[in-house]
Amino acid sequence: MASKKELFLSALRNDQPPKFMGHAFDAFPQEVAFGPAGPEVLFHAVIDPISNWDVINHSGRLYKDFWGVTHRYLPDEGDPGIIPLTDSNNQVIKDMEHWRDYVVFPEIPKDLDWSYAQAQCKAAHDRGELVMVPTFRGLFERLHSLRAFENVMEDIALCPDEVEEFYDAYLDWKLEVVKQLIDNLDFDMLHSHDDLGAKEKLFFSPNTFREQLKPRYTKLYEYCHSRGILVQHHCDCYITPFAADFAEMGVDMWQGALPTNDIVLIQKQLNEKGYNMLLMGGLESAIIDDKGASEEQIRAEVRRAIDTYAPGGHFLPCIGSINCLFPENEVIVIDEMNRYGAEWVSKHS
């Protein structure tokens, strides 16, 4: 009998007939910790020391990180995650044309404790699970944390050279992060986080994406592949016009494929161009993560997604935001993904 890891890798290869259709994170660790003393969370990844140092081990009503960015994170008051509060008054980059005068790239500490993450990676491998390590704050997200979002939108059009210079400099920093992750940890895939649109619209044109972001991400993901690491890019937003470009730039898994995207069209594009990229998503969060949703409404949405997208291949159902805000909903979602997914496979194998 195939293991969960083998079944996931079969879906990743788009084997036909399909051998697995179920919760996309079923073969990943189900509980990990944010560091030696951090809280247990259902994130399906081993949280590394650089992510802890750079992003996660901060909290407060108004705090500044090592980049000088102002955030709010009060989990006890219901904050679902870290919330950058960048505006025109507190933005780090005051003038995009002179961004180098404002941005100081923090030096990654040389004395980070890798032992706890190494132990988690080993334990997950010993259980036969796939091991994923994240890197947060992608190219675009880092820029609009340092500069007010509306200003970034103007900069992309009015100061493209400076925007690309920033991306190149940040890419160098990010490459060093990824190198250290691979040098110190035994893992299978990188979870790369960068949202590039809203739920139903792009933030910028496909041409802008192809000129400013695609070449840099291609370089980053080529490095990952050269070191034997698969790439999972989280982007839970609308990107239909350049979704196929994700495959071209080396994304093995697009996690967060919202149904506001034309997933059926994207599947056809992947097949026509001979690309292989797993689409992890398909579920409408407004239904499955609604506190007032009934169990039948949640299960019906899962069945709709599988019936609509599974026939096109390159697909596993997945919560776009990785986890539901309401754990009681998530239990139902995961149960139906695996229950109905197994039923679907039995009919189509």
What's the CATH number where 84 sits? 3.20.20.210
Rounded-to-integer distance, Cα 343 and Cα 243, Å = 29
Burial 285-295 (b: 16+ CB within 10 A, else e): bebbbbeebee
The answer to whether 260 touches 285, Cβ cutoff 8 Å, is no
Rounded-to-integer distance, Cα 35 and Cα 268, Å = 42
Rounded-to-integer distance, Cα 208 and Cα 4, Å = 39
Query: How crowded is residue 267: how many other Cβ atoms within 10 Å of its Cβ?
Result: 21
| Amino acid (one-letter) located at 217 | Y
Task: Please say whether the dihedral angle defined by the alpha carbons of residues 251, 253, 259 and 262, taken in this order, is positive or negative.
Answer: positive
Residue entry with tokens 């292989």: 276
Helices 139-146 + 149-158 axis angle, to 10:
120
Tokens of 156: 């992309």
Per-residue pLDDT of the chain (349 residues; tens, 9 = 90+): 899 999 999 999 999 999 999 999 999 987 554 554 444 445 789 999 999 999 988 889 999 999 999 999 998 888 888 999 999 999 999 999 999 999 999 999 999 999 999 999 999 999 999 999 999 999 999 999 999 999 999 999 999 999 999 999 999 999 999 999 999 999 999 999 999 999 999 999 999 999 999 999 999 999 999 999 999 999 999 999 999 999 999 999 999 999 999 999 999 999 999 999 999 999 999 999 999 999 999 999 999 999 999 999 999 999 999 999 999 999 999 999 999 999 999 999 8
Residue by residue, DSSP assigns 127-150 as TT---EEEE-S-HHHHHHHHS-HH
Length of the chain: 349
The answer to whether 125 touches 28, Cβ cutoff 8 Å, is no
**Number of domains making up the chain:** 1
Assign 120 to helix, strand or coil.
helix
Residue 243: the pLDDT is 98
Rounded-to-integer distance, Cα 58 and Cα 344, Å = 43
Cα distances (Å, whole numbers) of residue 76 to 57, 69, 159, 270:
15, 22, 40, 43
Residue entry with tokens 């495959």: 247
Strands 60-64 and 315-318 turn out to be: unpaired
Rounded-to-integer distance, Cα 117 and Cα 183, Å = 13
Residue 43: the pLDDT is 73
- Which residue range is the domain that position 335 belongs to? 4-348
The H-or-E segment that residue 255 falls in is strand 253-257
* Cβ partners under 8 Å of residue 301, min gap 6: 283, 284, 287, 288
**What backbone torsions phi and psi does residue 144 show, to the nearest 5 degrees?**
-85, 0
